[in-house]
Amino acid sequence: MIYIADLHIHSKYSRAVSQEMTIPNLSRWGKYKGIDLIGTGDFTHPFWFNDLKENLLEDGKGFFNFKDDGKGPKFVLSAEISNIYTQGEKGRRIHSVVLAPSFADAEKINEKLASLGNLMSDGRPILPISAKLLLETVKEVSPDSIFFPAHIWTPWYSLYGSNSGFDSMVDCFGSASREIFAIETGLSSDPAMNWRIKELDDYGIISFSDAHSLPKLGREATAFEGDFSFQGLREAMKSKDGPNKIAYTIEFHPEEGKYHYTGHRNCKVCYSPEEVKHKGTTCPVCGRKLTVGVMQRVEALSTRGEAEIEIAKEGVFTRSKKLNRPPFVMLVPLQEVIAEVVGSNTASQTVRSEYQALVDRCGSEFEVLLKTAREDLVKVVSPKIVEGIIKNRNGEISVSPGYDGEFGKVSIWEDETQTKEESSEQMSLF
């Protein structure tokens, strides 16, 4: 079977996260989105771990059912952990995600990590140990757990980050890197950008939402093929051609990510990699170093040019003609499409009503975005919204790239700009 998973999210116990991020709400929104498997996020936090034990029932295969809705999406225990330390005379900040196959395994991990840092302080705990030591510690107490580096290109808090990361997997994790078999792209990169890095040829490329609020669930996700179990998931991340494998990923347009291009938000300076070649990375306004974006960092570490991977579009999917890699599809979230049409932000009642009508009639957001026929869509919403959905499906959009913490701006119709949430609270729930 093919199942869609979003394995990197956060609970209400993490900073800048909606208080609505609870198991009942995640189950409900998982059905809206069309997600079959959701990471719980934050299992290291004592209060959230208690919530998980109260709300979830183990299914005997490493996944969990919400006790009040056995027909909804399943859950898997997940947690993101932040490591802040010094290595090679440089400050390092690395985020990683851990998936545990049982409450017993999660308890062992929590007990061990509690001796290394304060797990109560945040849903995403900060530990003053190396990422290598974290990986070794997790594997020591839970050999069957899954460990992968999170959003590997973001300038801060990532494996390849321009400000506090490394130039290679081995530099970061050393000999323990053999325990890693997949990496997460992050919102500001897509699989094609990662295909340019030879070091990543042997790693599965996966994408998840890092959702801090319910509507952001599934803005990136991975479709796996094979046995719907923890062991099947583990094998799917490791294998390219076996019965368990990655079928495809669902991607945020990387230009819409907050760190795609290089620049300074406060100075309104934004450079593409080509512009960086000619202008450098010093801000012409304030004289300080620009925040080096993901695209620039990929250029610096790449071993292949874009032409070498021969990217081709086949229907809604993008794939490489040269490399044996799962394809991907890039989508603007449905609420953003509706918001542009009606001229309001995604939190408006109008957008919510149109969104609910579509998922109720068509099955789920992914069904609407990828499969539902035009003639069925027009029975539910206006022709203009239908046009936006079809243009989105066909990739007929433009994006003004994000940089230095500023989200990119999506436009389906070139003379209009996607309206974003304007309050600081809404923007913080990225």
Query: For the segment 288-307, what is each residue's pLDDT rounded down to a tens digit?
Result: 999 999 999 999 999 999 99
List of residues 6+ apart from 98 with CB closer than 8 A: 78, 79, 80, 81, 109, 138, 145, 146, 147
CA–CA gap between residue 244 and residue 29 (Å, rounded)? 26
Overall average pLDDT of the 120-125 stretch: 98
For residue 428, is pLDDT > 80? no
Q: How many Å is the Cα radius of gyration of the chain?
A: 21
Which token pair is 27?
Answer: 């189950």
pLDDT score for 426? 38
CA angle 169, 120, 176 (to 5 degrees): 20
Instruction: Output the average pLDDT for the chain.
Output: 95
Overall average pLDDT of the 173-194 stretch: 98
Among 47, 4, 54, 46, CA closest to 24: 54
What is the reported pTM?
Answer: 0.95
Give the pLDDT band (50/70/90) at residue 98.
very high
pLDDT score for 190? 98
CA–CA gap between residue 61 and residue 6 (Å, rounded)? 18
Query: For the segment 194-235, what is each residue's pLDDT rounded down to a tens digit?
Result: 999 999 999 999 999 999 999 999 999 999 999 999 999 999
pLDDT score for 69? 87
CB contact at 8 A, 149 and 159: yes
For residue 247, the surrounding DSSP H or E stretch is strand 245-251
- Site of tokens 């494998």: 245
399-to-77, 391, 410 alpha-carbon distances in Å = 35, 13, 5
CA 389 and chain centroid, separation = 22
CA–CA gap between residue 372 and residue 388 (Å, rounded)? 13
CA 345 and chain centroid, separation = 22
CA–CA gap between residue 2 and residue 114 (Å, rounded)? 37
Which residues sit opposite 75 in a β-bridge?
38, 64
pLDDT score for 199? 97
Among 351, 352, 327, 357, CA closest to 339: 351
Burial class (CB in 10 A: 0-12, 13-18, 19+), 118: exposed
For residue 430, is pLDDT > 60? no
Which domains does the chain carry? 2-256 (3.20.20.140), 262-292 (no CATH), 335-428 (no CATH)
How do strand 126-127 and strand 74-87 relate by DSSP bridges?
A: parallel
CA–CA gap between residue 294 and residue 333 (Å, rounded)? 21
Among 59, 57, 77, CA closest to 68: 57
pLDDT > 90: what percent of the chain? 94
pLDDT score for 415? 58
178-to-21, 51, 134, 174, 220 alpha-carbon distances in Å = 34, 33, 14, 9, 26
Query: For the segment 356-412, what is each residue's pLDDT rounded down to a tens digit?
Result: 999 999 999 999 999 999 999 999 999 999 999 999 999 999 999 999 999 999 899
Overall average pLDDT of the 27-34 stretch: 98
